[in-house]
Chain A
Amino acid sequence: MACIQVDNLTKHYGKLLAVDHISFKVEQGEFFGFLGPNGAGKTTTVRMLTGIIRADEGSASILGHKAGSLGAKQMSGVLPEMANAYADLSGWNNLMLVSQLYGVPAREARGRGEGLLQKLGLQPRKDDLVKGYSKGMKQRLILCMALLSDPQILFLDEPTSGLDVQSARLIKGLLQDLNAGGKTIFLTTHDMDEANQLCHRVAIINHGLIVDADAPEKIRLATGGVRSVEVSFDGEASTETLANLPGVNSVKKLGDKYRLYTADPGDLVASVVSFSDVHRLKIVSLNTLSPTLEDAFVALTDKESK
C-alpha cells in the first residue's frame, strides 16, 4: 500500500484552477520533494492532503485513510507554511498542548518532548514564552510539535525557508535521520539544493499540473541543458578575451568568478589553464559545472509557462 495515494486531485479558487487533476503516489519510507514556483499549487496540495481544505474533485489517502479524516491526521505530523506556535504559551506548553490533542500519554509526551527539544537546541529556553523566540527557534519548535506524536508521515511546507544556515542545517540533518529511521517525508520546497540533497524522488508542479516526477538525478540528466566552467583568478581578467577562447559560447562574471558556457568543458579547462599562463594570472579555483536540478526546474517550468 502506498503511503500517500493521490488521484485526480483538483481545487478551484473561484475561476482560478489552483490544482488541476493531479495524481501521484509516495511509497512508505520515501523522502518525497514537491517543487514548484510561487503560486504553482504546492501549498494548496499539501493543505488538501492534511485536511485543512477540501478538494473539489478527486481523492487522496494517507496510509489507507481518507486525507483529512481523523485517522489520517492522527498518523501525520504537519509543519504548515508560515505557521506559528502560540506566542503566549511557553515552548514546553505548546508541545504539551499538541501532545494532548494527539492523545499522546503524558509520560511518553514528556520524555519525547525533552528529547526533541534537546536535539533541536531548545532545551535551555523551553520555559520561555514563544513570543521571545527568534524565527529559527520558532520553526524548530513547530518541527518539534510536528514530531511529538511520533507520526508515520511528515508533511513539511518550506521548513527551512528564511532560516539562518545553522538552523537550516540542523533541521535538514534531523529530517535525514528521521527518514533513515523509516519515516515518510513529504517536503514542499523552493530550495533546489535542499531537494537534491534530501529527496529520493521529486515532483515538479506548475500552474496546478505536475510536469515531471522522478529521482532528482534523472530529472536533471533528462532535461539536458548547458554545461560550464567556473574559474576565479587572483587578478582581473578580460571578459572579452575569455569569450574568445575556443569552445566558449558566452561568459558571465559572477562576483569574483567567471562562468564560461561551453559544449565541451574538458577542452575548455586546458584553454583556461594556458590563458592563465599567458596572462600571468594564478587560478584560485576551477570547477566544471553540469546542469543542476535548478536548471532542470527552470527549464521544465519555463517550458510549461510558454
Chain B
Amino acid sequence: MAFGATLLQQAWRCLIIARKDIRIYYSKGPVIVFGVLFPVFLFLSFTIGRHLEMDFMIPGLIGMVLFFTATAISPIVVPWETMQRTLERLMSCPVMIETIILGDILASFAFGLGISLVPIIIGLALGVTISSPLVLVAAIILAAFAFAALGNVFSIPPTNLPATVNMIASVVKFPVVFISGVFIPLDELPAWGRAISYVSPLTYFTDIARRCVEGQGYLPVAVDLLALLAFALLFLTIAVTLHRRTMPKRI
C-alpha cells in the first residue's frame, strides 16, 4: 500500500482509538466532575482571601483546569489496558504503536479542550472580557495537546498498575503548578524563579492567557505560542519513541 494511503488509514484508526478511549475512560460522570472540581477547588484554596481581581484569577483558573484535565486520564490508559488485558488484543490489530499512542493523546486532548470551556464560561459570566479570543483558542489547542502528550509520557514505564503511574504523575504535576505563574505572575517572580518557570509548558499558557484577559503578558505572544508548540512536539516525540520500546514489555 502506498505510504500516503497507509498514513490516512492509520490517521483514521487513530481517531477510532481516541473515540474508544473517550467512551470507555472519559465519558463517566465522576471523571468529568472530578476534572472540573479538583482544579477549581485547588485554585480557590490558594486565592480566597487574597482579594485578587477576577481578570487575574480567570487566566490562572483556565490554565489549572486545562493542565489537570488534559493530564488526568492519559497517564493511566495504557497501564489500565495492560491490567485489563485488552492491550494485546489492540496491538494485534493492524495499527501501529504510534497510532495507539496518538489516539490516546487525542482523547485526552479533546477532554482537556471540552472541560476548559467551563472556566471560560465562568469568567465570561462574571464579566471578564477576552481581548484576543483567537490567540486564546490557539493557545488552548497547543497547550491541551502538549499537556495530553505529557500525561502520556508518564505512562511510559511498563507497569500495569495505574496507581504507580498516578504517583509519578502527581510528583511532577503539583510542583509544575507552583512554578508556572498561576499564583504569582512571571514579572513578580525573582530571576531564579523565572528561570525555573521557563521549563514548564504551563508558564507559557498562563502568560498568554493573562495577555488575552488582562491585556498584558510577560513574554511576546509568538514566544509563548512557539514554546507551547515546541513542548507539544517534544512530549509527542518522547511518548512515541519510548512507548515503542516499552509497550512490548508490558505484555
List 9 A-B pairs, minimum CB-CB distance, nearest first: A78-B92, A73-B94, A101-B93, A74-B94, A84-B85, A53-B248, A80-B88, A83-B89, A100-B16
Extra A-B contacts (5), CB below 8 Å, given A52-B91, A86-B86, A101-B94: A71-B1, A87-B84, A100-B13, A102-B94, A145-B89
Which of B1, B86, B92 contacts A73, CB < 8 Å?
A: B92
The smallest beta-carbon distance between B12 and chain A, in angstroms, is 8
Chain B residues with Cβ below 8 Å from A53 are 248, 251
Smallest CB separation, A306 vs chain B (Å): 32
Residues of A near B86 (CB, < 8 A) are: 83-86
Which residues of chain B from 54 to 105 have a CB within 8 Å of any chain A CB?
84-86, 88-96
In the assembled complex, which residues on chain A have CB atoms less than 8 Å from the CB atom of B24? 86, 88-89
Q: Could you list 21 A-B pairs, sorted by A, with CB under 8 Å?
A: A47-B251, A50-B92, A52-B92, A70-B94, A73-B94, A80-B89, A80-B92, A83-B86, A84-B84, A84-B85, A84-B89, A86-B20, A86-B84, A88-B23, A93-B23, A97-B16, A98-B93, A100-B16, A101-B16, A103-B9, A145-B89
Q: Which residue from A54, A70, A86 sits with its C-beta under 8 Å from B96?
A: A70
> Is B6's CB within 8 Å of the partner chain A?
yes
Nearest-neighbor residue (CB-CB) of A46 within chain B? B92
Q: Is A139 an interface residue (CB 8 A)?
A: no
Other-chain residue from B6, B13, B84, B251 in contact with A52 (beta carbon distance below 8 A): B251
Closest A residue by C-beta to B20: A97
A-binding residues in B (CB < 8 A):
1, 6, 9, 13, 16-17, 20, 23-24, 84-86, 88-96, 248, 251
Report if A206 contacts B (CB, 8 A).
no
Asked if A247 lies at the interface with its beta carbon under 8 angstroms from chain B, I say no
Find residues 142-167 in chain A having any chain B CB closer than 8 Å to their own CB. Answer: 142, 145, 155
- Determine whether the beta carbon of B88 is less than 8 Å from that of A83: yes
Residues of A bordering B, CB below 8 Å: 47, 50-54, 70-71, 73-74, 76, 78, 80, 82-89, 93, 97-98, 100-103, 142, 145, 155
In the bound assembly, the distance between CA atoms of A74 and B6 in angstroms comes to 12
Of all chain A residues, which has the CB nearest B83? Answer: A84
CB distance from B162 to the nearest CB of A (A): 15
CB distance from A53 to the nearest CB of B (A): 4
Task: For B84, list chain A residues within 8 Å (CB).
Answer: 84, 86-87
Across the interface, B13 reaches (CB within 8 A) one of A71, A93, A101, A145, namely A101
Query: Is A76 in contact with B92, judged by CB distance below 8 angstroms?
Result: yes
Provide the bound-state CA to CA distance between A169 and B144, in Å: 51
In the assembled complex, the Cα of A89 lies from the Cα of B21 at a distance in Å of 11
Shortest C-beta distance, B84 to chain A (Å), equals: 6
Rounded to whole angstroms, the CA-CA distance of A86 and B20 in the bound complex is: 10
Q: Could you tell me the distance in whole angstroms from the C-beta of A158 to the nearest C-beta in chain B?
A: 13
Chain B nearest CB, measured from A33 CB (Å): 20
Chain B nearest CB from A80 CB (Å) reads 4
Q: A50-B92, A80-B92 are in contact. Are A89 and B23 (CB under 8 A)?
A: yes
Query: A83: which of B17, B20, B85 is its contact (CB, 8 Å)?
Result: B85
- Tell me the complex Cα distance, A97–B19, Å: 10
Among residues of B, the one whose C-beta sits closest to the C-beta of A74 is: B94
In the complex, which residue of chain B has the Cβ closest to the Cβ of A155?
Answer: B92
Bound Cα distance from A38 to B37, whole angstroms: 49
Q: What residues of B have a CB within 8 angstroms of the CB of A54 in the complex? A: 248
The CA of A50 and the CA of B92, in the complex, are separated in Å by 6
Chain B nearest CB from A238 CB (Å) reads 52
Shortest B97–chain A CB gap in Å is: 10
Measured between beta carbons, the chain B residues less than 8 angstroms from A145 are 89
Contacts of B23 on A, CB cut-off 8 Å?
88-89, 93
With CB as the reference atom, state the residue of chain A lying closest to B248: A53
When chains A and B are docked, how far (Å) is the Cα of A256 from the Cα of B42? 72
Residue of B nearest to A83 (CB): B89
Min C-beta distance of B93 to chain A, whole Å? 4
> Which has the most chain A C-beta neighbours within 10 Å: B13, B86, B92, B251?
B92
